[in-house]
Amino acid sequence: MSFRISILGPVVLALTSCTTPVYRPVSGATHAKNVILFIGDGMGVSTVTAARIFDGQSQGMSGEEHWLAFERFPNVALVKTYNTNQQVPDSAGAATAMVTGQKTRAGVISVAPQVKRQACTDALANPLATIGEIAEERGKAVGFVTTARVTHATPAAIYAHSPERDWESDGQMPHADWERGCRDIAYQLVNFAGGRSLDIAMGGARSAFFGSDHGGTRSDPGDNLVGQWLSGGRQRRYVTSADQLTSLQSGDQVLGLFSDSHMTFIADRQENSTEPSLSQMTATAIDLLAGDNNGYFLMVEGGRIDHGHHDGKPGYALLEAQEFNHAIETALEKIDLKNTLVLVTADHSHVFTISGYPTRGNPILGLVIGNDKNGEPNQNPTIAADGLPYTTLGYSNGPGALTELPRPTPVTGIHAVAQSLVAVVDIEADGTISNDETHGGEDVALYGTGAGSENVRGVLEQNVIFDIMMQAYGWGE
């Protein structure tokens, strides 16, 4: 493996892998016609473990013995997630590594590592080709579905190039940078590949595509990017509800915007919700893309796993992870692994812990109840040194931080904010201050099955995921 050295500041040197593939295809292996990349945003190893138990307990098991669908994949690796300028990554830099084959800075989307955040001119001069662009150029259909905004960092890395992940609408970027030639992420989605368009793009972010006349955030009140996109082809379909998915046909190009911002947390969704589930979007995307004789690239993001953790709500994160697993099960029922590579991974982890000594089958969202001296379950919760019980799941920082003593009695259940140690301060792009929980820096897992998955092994740099997909298609060097 060869490396290049990137100078990222007066004292910081970072090694970033070139796009030379690390592994060669196994002799006689069949190339993949299709690739599906599942990204559980923020789904670190502790989240996978907790989701396994949560899903098992929801089916009446004790939970620990359960398996999530992707945990039965034959090939597994660990992935190093750091950005070129951060030990603990953000989603923009992590997604860029996976879809371009190069690690880059935190906060930038599919531009080279020398591009500083918000440096428009440098970004224009240093774009990185993405797996979405390469697949489109080689005749494959390209799409993604997400429970986050379609303009959010992870899906944006497939189709956009930006020095700032927060430039989702032109109302969120400096006008001077627009004059320099930079474009917001929603604009780039509509104009992907010179206007030829993504075949499937479904998730949230309706407001980024319209001006205020239509309830959006674009700087021109009359802006209507959806209308512009629809005018670009006869088989383009704009959908805003789950019911409309059933009317779509093979050959349609689909833009689905089901909410103004991120899609609603499963924990908060009402029975009369018009939003589709991630499983429904995944099934629709595969059914439509499978009609392309040249094959396809599809990215599926469980985007709100991450947001549940940031809010310090394990129950929210685990419900989203459970649905992410359902989406994978749905996909596996629809595809042929002889010609399709399926990868499941996370962009980063979270500071999410599973602790104490709870007895076997103890409710994963509950208080720790341990075993007695004979190894049998106690009747009451385990008591900490301060005289209070504690939960199995918690965080090292976040909104549930203990800012005063005595510690309050922890609450439990789906909607509970878990207790944490440190109240970190995060200044948002709009200047607001939050105590959101942070990402974690440990390795995440990569699970692989299907054509080309034999290269999922060992400990990998995150950008090697791109190499694995390229080699599966037969495009590696």
Token pair recorded at residue 147: 């429970």
Among residues of the chain, what percentage have pLDDT more than 70? 94
Mean pLDDT (the chain) is: 93
Buried b (16+ CB within 10 A) or exposed e, 265-278: bbbeeeeebebbbb
Residue 192 pLDDT > 80: yes
Tokens 């590949």 locate to 193
Kindly tell me if the per-residue pLDDT of 41 is higher than 80.
Answer: yes
Round to whole Å and give the CA distance between 440 and 417: 18
Tokens of 131: 């797996």
* CATH architecture classification, 26-354+437-473: 3-Layer(aba) Sandwich (3.40)
Burial class (CB in 10 A: 0-12, 13-18, 19+), 260: middle
pLDDT attached to residue 16:
37
Asked if the model's pLDDT at residue 239 lies above 80, the reply is yes
Lowest mean pLDDT among 345-359, 364-378, 417-431: 417-431
Tell me the three state secondary structure of residue 76. Answer: strand
Q: What angle do CA 355, 356, 357 make, to 5 degrees?
A: 120
Residue 456 scores a pLDDT above 90: yes
Q: What is the pLDDT of residue 24?
A: 38
The letter for the amino acid at 357 is Y
Helix then strand count (H, E) for the chain reads: 12, 19
pLDDT of residue 29: 54
Quick check: helix, strand or coil at residue 393?
A: strand
- Give the burial string for 213-232 (b: 16+ CB within 10 Å, else e): ebebbbeeeebbbbeebbee
Residue 196: predicted pLDDT: 83
421: three-class secondary structure by DSSP: strand
Which range in 11-25, 223-237, 422-436 is most confidently predicted, on average pLDDT?
Answer: 223-237
Q: Which residue has the higher pLDDT, 23 or 77?
A: 77
Q: What is the pTM of this model?
A: 0.93
For the segment 30-45, the average pLDDT, to the nearest whole number, is 97
Select which of 46, 91, 110, 453 is catalytic.
Answer: 91
- SS3 of residue 32 by DSSP: coil
Per-residue pLDDT at 269: 98
Under 8 Å between Cβ of 16 and 84: yes
Q: Where are the domains of the chain?
A: 26-354+437-473
Q: What is the pLDDT of residue 428?
A: 75
- 8 pLDDT more than 50: no
Nearest residue to 313 (alpha-carbon basis) of 273, 352, 258, 362: 352
| Catalytic residue status for 197 | no
